[in-house]
Amino acid sequence: MTITAIYFSATYTTKRVVEAVAANLSNEVTAYDITNDASTDEVAIPANELVVVGVPVYAGRVPTMAAERLRRFKGNNTPTVVVAVYGNRHYDDAVIELHDIMTEQGFRIVSAGAFIAQHSIFPKVGKARPDAEDMADIKAFTEKSTELVKEGFGEISLPGNRPYKVPGGIPIWPTASKKCTACGACARLCPTGAIDPASPKGVDKAKCIKCGRCIVVCPTKARRFYGIKYSLAAARFNSAFAARRENEMWFAERR
């Protein structure tokens, strides 16, 4: 079976999950990393392939940029596995929103998963995940998904609300410390172009989506979230969501 993997992954954890799903399905994988790829060229995927698409959950939703970039992919009743990766709080409406985006583009959803990863803003939550137990869940998820594709599948029922929740947030943005060498890695890899290469210590707050990409790519670990507002928010968040959540998976009806 030929697999097409599509993912938006600022901190590389969604990439890791999607690649694990795809690798369990087939050795033949064509990957599209849409994190920095703003191309609008249409990609048609035929019915005899299988798509795995993954996004991180931002404030309970599919990131707006990811939603926009996914619309260049067109299916032909192509079976599709959708994956939302979130930081141990909740996926809210992201799973059903991702289902709707792909369905509108001509894909048929065979299964869906909400998998845990380390939180990109509050990294003490979900630390070191996905772990071995998560990878075991992913393997079982792909095995059942493969069975459904081979045997035939119908509709899938997913949690979430329509209309989707209005995303919220707190007024914090990542900036650089004195460790910054102005190497420009953050500016080159920022998905939204929110960092000026000529002045990389700051950030354009109007463009920044707080994805954490600049933090994970910084070779000197100079960038992070700072300030009293962040410290207070982190203390509340860490306390509220310290308990381990488990992955959730849904499958279409067998035919």
Sequential DSSP letters for 174-198: EEE-TT-----HHHHH-TT--SBTT
Q: pLDDT value at position 26? A: 86
Q: Is 185 among the domain residues?
A: yes
Question: E strands of 138-228, at which residues?
Answer: 174-176, 223-225
Q: Residues 157, 198: one domain? A: no
Number of domains in the chain: 2
- What does the pLDDT look like over 160-215, one tens digit per residue? 999 999 988 889 999 999 999 999 999 999 999 999 999 999 999 999 999 999 99
Q: Answer whether residue 169 is part of any domain.
A: no
Q: What percent of the chain has pLDDT over 70?
A: 100
CB count within 10 Å of CB 126 equals 25
Q: Cα separations (Å) of 181 from 196, 201, 218?
A: 14, 9, 10
pLDDT bin (cut points 50, 70, 90) of residue 38 is very high
Q: Are 41 and 47 in contact (CB under 8 A)?
A: no
> Is 12 domain-assigned?
yes
Q: Is 155 in the same domain as 101?
A: yes
Average pLDDT over residues 77-86: 98
Same domain, 88 and 29: yes
Question: Do 85 and 142 share a domain, yes or no?
Answer: yes
Give me the domain span that covers residue 185. 174-226
Q: Is the pTM of the predicted complex or chain greater than 0.85?
A: yes
Same domain assignment for residues 76 and 143: yes
Is 69 in a helix, a strand, or coil? helix
pLDDT reading at 255 higher than 90: no
- Identify the CATH number of the domain in which residue 115 sits: 3.40.50.360
Please tell me whether residues 12 and 51 are part of one structural domain: yes
One domain for residues 72 and 16: yes
Average pLDDT value for residue range 19-44: 95
**Statement to judge: residues 57 and 96 lie in one domain:** yes
CATH number of the domain bearing residue 187: 3.30.70.20
Residue 231 lies in a domain: no
Rounded CA separation 235/237 (Å) = 6
For 229, residues 6+ apart whose C-beta sits below 8 A from its C-beta are 170, 171, 172
In this structure, is residue 240 part of a structural domain? no
Assess whether 181 and 61 both reside in one domain: no
**With bands split at pLDDT 50, 70 and 90, how would you rate the model's confidence at 62?**
very high
Residue 252, amino acid: A
Indicate if 193 and 215 belong to the same structural domain.
Answer: yes
Has residue 1 got a pLDDT over 90?
Answer: no
Q: Are strands 29-33 and 50-56 parallel, antiparallel or unpaired?
A: unpaired
Q: Looking at the structure, do residues 192 and 74 belong to the same domain, yes or no?
A: no
Note whether 95 and 213 are same-domain residues.
no
Q: Is residue 71 part of a domain?
A: yes
Q: What is the mean pLDDT of the chain?
A: 96
Please give the structure tokens belonging to residue 134.
């998560």
Q: Which residues contact 240 (CB under 8 A, 6 or more apart)?
A: none
